[in-house]
Amino acid sequence: MKKTYSLLIAALGLTLLAAPLQASDRYASLFGGVSKINDGTLDAGLTATAALGCDYGTSRVEAELGYQNNGVKNSTSDVRLVSLMGNGYYDIDLGGVDLYGTAGVGVAESGHQTDVAYQFGAGLAVPIGDKVMLDARYRYFTTIVNPSLSSNSGLLGLRITF
């Protein structure tokens, strides 16, 4: 488990620190929203992500840390999921508003179980300042071994270029 996280962190770190082939902007993002795990026994819950990335114009790459918490219906227990993902984005400039698609792969941990995970989604980003974007996205997230943890999320966040 620790080896998996260590290898993934090292690979993502090298990706972000490697000398770019073209000019890039670094950014940080923070998102929060509502998630619904597709297993019918769980209530809607909260999800949050934080990421560091590189923006190359029409494409981006980032390392993302995520957290998701969904309650079990008619119970005081809940399901917590922590993920570490490497994501890629393709941005389309619509004249001041960016439409984008995203896909990512990584690892997720729920309880004492670690699993390979992947996600994909789409969103819109609108500039609200010189280096700040307001971003709304949809995300589908799932794990390979335990697909009952698949979820749909609506997220709202900020992306800050530095």
Residue pair 137/121 in contact by the 8 Å Cβ criterion: yes
- At 73 the pLDDT is 86
- 75 versus 23: the higher-pLDDT residue is 75
Distance CA 48, CA 32 (A): 4
pLDDT digits (tens, 9 = 90+) for 100-148: 999 999 999 998 899 999 999 999 999 999 999 999 999 999 999 988 8
- 23 versus 46: the higher-pLDDT residue is 46
Distance CA 58, CA 129 (A): 20
Residue pair 79/70 in contact by the 8 Å Cβ criterion: yes
Domains of the chain: residue spans and CATH: 2-17+24-161 (2.40.160.20)
CA distances to 36, 45, 107, 121 from 69, in Å: 10, 5, 16, 19
